[in-house]
Chain A
Amino acid sequence: EPEVTQTPSHQVTQMGQEVILRCVPISNHLYFYWYRQILGQKVEFLVSFYNNEISEKSEIFDDQFSVERPDGSNFTLKIRSTKLEDSAMYFCASSESEVANEKLFFGSGTQLSVL
């Protein structure tokens, strides 16, 4: 079965540094998402992306965050200047359409640790 792949699986960075989390969505999918899960807390929506534009974002997704689809296969999440509270598991997801009952396929996540 096709899958969403995320790299790296773990990322350790110093506070204030920039990080880029990478994702390769399923090849025929058109809608892409980032979610995060702070340890012991809920999985939270960050942003959705379609046709090279952000279609929806949450309050968490402030100016420190950006997303990009630099080529036909990758989808990245950049955190410009990391804070301690950015430490979390970040999940990339993709879906074939935006139909409301469409299921999302999630990657295995990138565990980001900000020291």
Chain B
Amino acid sequence: AQKVTQAQTEISVVEKEDVTLDCVYETRDTTYYLFWYKQPPSGELVFLIRRNSFDEQNEISGRYSWNFQKSTSSFNFTITASQVVDSAVYFCALKAAGNKLTFGGGTRVLVKP
């Protein structure tokens, strides 16, 4: 069975600060995929990034970056120079065998002006 844990339930920062969201996952599958989704106040789930288990190279995409470490089963996500529009709930998710996404509990990010 798969499991995703987001230990931080809420993070509050001031605009322009960096925010790092933690995600730890469990799976017995050797091939799996990790995702981050954003849920703004409007409610929809918006895809942000994905990573496969074979590629531990960390990347930066605009203000987003992620740190995938297979050795610790972690897939952390960083927003650099946060903006008020980044205020949302962020979900880490795992897809292994089968076609379903297993979500973490989410981290609410509040960016204050």
Contacts and interface: CB of A to CB of B under 8 A. Distances in A.
Contacts, number: 56
B103 interface: yes
B43 interface: yes
Nearest to A101: B33
A101 B50 contact: yes
Q: Looking at chain A's contact residues, is the secondary structure mostly helix, strand, loop, or mixed? A: strand
A45 B100 contact: yes
**Residues of B in contact with A, size category:** 20 to 34
Given A107-B44, A108-B43, A42 B103 contact: yes
A103 B98 contact: no
Interface string B72-113: 000000000000000000010101101111111110000000
A103 B99 contact: no
Interface residues of A, number: 25
Given A41-B105, A100-B31, A100-B95, A56 B100 contact: yes
Interface of A: 31, 33, 35, 41-45, 48, 55-56, 58, 89, 91, 93, 98, 100-101, 103-109
Interface of B: 31-33, 35, 37, 42-47, 50, 52, 91, 93, 95-96, 98-106
